[in-house]
């Protein structure tokens, strides 16, 4: 999804009040009526109609109707503006540069803070992949209520920031966390390449051992990454790994902890065998009663991401897991690179590896109800 922060410069304080009012009203209304927007924004007179019209033209909100009234709802571009406004006021984000990553559930940009140092802005966008799967099965929502993907995206960002902060404080190789607001996380820009883009390593056994040791070290600190694979591991020029992407991290006390631990291990073993023709008989196995040095999951909860937040996010993650095995891994585009040209070539290479074909005719561009553009494999 395109991020265009240019209009932030020209939006008035009253427009932001209206946008914030729609965000607040969305907590209890799928479609926020104009009367409630006027009440929450505390704007009087007919001016509110103009502000709403301008926000629609900027594609920050959408107009919808039900059987009772015409109302408005916040979409991801509007949520982006609210988060960027807050981050800008804090000095965490003063300029937005190129997009360097596109995933099924996030967009990643290079930004600069008030110190003029480059950093990374990650925008969580849950629902881009999952809406088609979960829209028919949402037992944890009230009848006729749509899932609030923006709320889930905010929880995902809160979780990532909390765990990244705790891991960084305990010396794990992760980016330095800088700030977080709503669905956005600001972190250090790492000078490294994603493992998935690396075709040759002088000593694959050394990196393999470091990654397995990292999985074990996390477990000894009470955590399992849950998505430990070539997409979420960066490799510095000196060969040292950096771990990223923490929304699926779980505690070793989780009911399915052994499954997630073994899956992380298997992902690394499979990738190294396929990419580097390296296979080792040595790999860690999950031990529930192993020596635990710290409970970082408890510390992460104490930092602001509560058990209730985790429970709400787990419900969504469980729905995703039910459909993960049914989905073609090449159904949607995943990119993490330094340029658009590299993104295209690397994505085509991975599709050729996974599915044996990379023809553009096999894919279509579609837009979901959240305003996200998705490149999806054409149904046969």
- DSSP of 259-296: HHHHHHHHHHHHHHHHHH----S------TTS-----H
Measured distance CA(19)–CA(15) in Å, rounded: 6
| 176 contacts 246 by C-beta, under 8 angstroms | no
| 159 contacts 305 by C-beta, under 8 angstroms | yes
Give every CB contact of residue 91 below 8 A, 6+ residues apart in sequence: 113, 114
Q: What is the token pair recorded at 322?
A: 């039910």
Residue 154 carries which DSSP code? H
Q: Which residues of 344-367 are buried (b: 16+ CB within 10 A; e: fewer)?
A: eebbeebbeeeeeebeeeebeeee
Residue 364 pairs with which residues in a beta bridge?
376
What's the CA angle centered on 349, arms 103 and 317, to 5 degrees?
Answer: 30
Write out the catalytic residue numbers. Answer: 227
């Amino acid at each position: 999804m395109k991020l265009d922060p240019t209009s932030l410069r020209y939006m008035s304080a009253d427009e932001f009040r209206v946008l914030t009012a729609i965000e607040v009203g969305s907590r209890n209304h799928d479609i926020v009526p104009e009367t409630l927007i006027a009440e929450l924004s505390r704007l009087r007179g007919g001016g509110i109609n103009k502000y709403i019209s301008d926000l629609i033209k900027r594609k920050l909100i959408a107009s919808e109707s039900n059987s009772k009234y015409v109302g408005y709802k916040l979409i991801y571009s509007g949520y982006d503006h609210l988060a960027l406004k807050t981050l800008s006021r804090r000095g965490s984000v003063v300029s937005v540069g190129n997009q360097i990553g596109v995933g099924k559930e996030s967009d990643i940009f290079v930004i600069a803070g008030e110190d003029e140092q480059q950093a990374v802005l990650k925008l969580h966008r849950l629902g881009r992949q999952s809406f088609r799967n979960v829209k028919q099965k949402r037992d944890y929502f009230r009848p006729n209520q749509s899932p609030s993907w923006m709320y889930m995206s905010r929880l995902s960002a809160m979780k990532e920031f909390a765990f990244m902060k705790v891991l960084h404080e305990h010396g794990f190789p992760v980016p330095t966390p800088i700030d977080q607001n709503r669905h956005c996380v600001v972190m250090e820009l790492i000078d490294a390449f994603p493992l998935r883009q690396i075709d040759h390593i002088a000593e694959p056994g050394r990196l393999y051992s470091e990654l397995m040791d990292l999985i074990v070290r996390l477990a000894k600190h009470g955590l399992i990454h849950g998505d430990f694979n070539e997409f979420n591991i960066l490799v510095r020029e000196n060969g040292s790994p950096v771990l990223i992407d923490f929304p699926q991290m779980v505690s070793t006390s989780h009911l399915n902890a052994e499954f997630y631990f073994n899956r992380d291990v298997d992902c690394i073993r499979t990738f190294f065998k396929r990419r580097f023709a390296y296979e080792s008989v040595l790999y860690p196995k999950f031990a529930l009663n192993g020596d635990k040095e710290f409970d970082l999951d408890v510390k992460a909860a104490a930092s602001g991401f509560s058990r209730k937040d985790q429970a709400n996010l787990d419900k969504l993650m469980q729905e995703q897991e039910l459909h993960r095995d049914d989905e073609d891994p090449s159904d949607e585009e995943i990119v993490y690179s330094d340029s658009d040209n590299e993104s295209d070539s690397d994505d085509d290479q991975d599709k050729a590896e996974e599915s044996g074909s990379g023809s553009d005719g096999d894919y279509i561009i579609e837009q979901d109800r959240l305003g996200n553009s998705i490149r999806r494999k054409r149904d046969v």
